[in-house]
Amino acid sequence: MKWNSRLTQCAISAFFAGSPMTFAATAIDFYFPEAPPLTMANQGGEHGIAGDIALKAMAMAGYSPNFASPPWPRAQRDVASGKDMLIAPLSRTQNRENNFTWIAPLLTMDRTFFSLDQRVESFDEARKTFKLIAVGIGSAQETRLREEGFPASQIYPLKIGENPAQMLLKGRVDAWFNGVPETRYIWKQISDRPLVMSRVLMTADLYLACSKDCDAHMVDRLRTAIDTLQANGTADKIEAGYLKGLPVW
């Protein structure tokens, strides 16, 4: 479902106000999940680490977003089969490689297992230790578990966002395989109980990507804008701002 709330439009206008554009912005579809602190829709002027970097890059390149946030598996299908649609944050996995045009990394994210009381050092140990593992449906984490040989009966795919954390807190799953910053951000909202974080077992860049059928000029402009934001320190400042004050286990 696409949306363009007044609040969000004000936030986007603020992004554009600081941009050096001298031409009218071209509207482009931008798909993302509700996955704070990476991407978020309903937090006033904040759109998450990847969201803010992507929006600044779009403003610099001369584009304005038409937001869409359907379920993550459908978002990926829609963008892959569409034309000139943007999506973020997306891990560049082997099964996705040929379905998208990969513009540029927005940030790098570590992933691991979180539980209430057990730490593991490997996928093999996790497979033996945890009976049921929550994971975001359609995520790179879900794909990785299946590639590592976890049976379907051990994997509990859930809507990306707060749902897996609630399942873990209530003891309905034994572990949550997820990105470190997202877990730290979400857990702070729902519980003061410390989590047990396992050794980092997966690290990957999160990209701004486009449909496989994507205008080359748009790709070049966005890639240049993201490179600029990375080089001048803006991307690092955005990330640090969202991670400040989050729990560390």
96-107, pLDDT tens digit by residue? 999 999 999 999
Query: Do the Cβ atoms of 106 and 99 come closer than 8 Å?
Result: no
pTM of the predicted structure, to 2 decimals: 0.87
Residue 22 has what pLDDT? 46
> ∠ CA 24-230-7 to the nearest 5 degrees?
45
Q: Are residues 104 and 212 in the same domain?
A: yes
Q: Are residues 95 and 128 in the same domain?
A: no
Cβ-defined contacts of 115-119 (< 8 Å, 24+)? 115/168, 115/174, 115/175, 115/176, 115/195, 115/196, 115/198, 116/168, 116/169, 116/171, 116/193, 116/195, 116/196, 117/196, 118/174, 118/175, 118/196, 119/196, 119/197, 119/198, 119/199
Domain annotation covers residue 249: no
What is the rounded CA–CA span in Å between residue 73 and residue 137?
A: 7
Residue 17 has what pLDDT? 44
Residue 238 has what pLDDT? 98
With a cut of 70, list the residues of the chain below it in pLDDT. 1-23
What is the rounded CA–CA span in Å between residue 101 and residue 66?
A: 19
Range of the domain at 68: 2-108+205-243
Q: Are residues 189 and 209 in the same domain?
A: no
Q: Are residues 40 and 118 in the same domain?
A: no
Q: Are residues 27 and 90 in the same domain?
A: yes
Residue 23 has what pLDDT? 54
Q: Are residues 138 and 222 in the same domain?
A: no
Packing angle of the helix pair 49-61, 234-243 (nearest 10 deg):
150
Q: Are residues 83 and 192 in the same domain?
A: no
Place of tokens 């600044």: 56
Residue 43 has what pLDDT? 75
Q: Are residues 157 and 224 in the same domain?
A: no
Closest CA to 116 of 91, 134, 92: 134
Q: Are residues 98 and 209 in the same domain?
A: yes
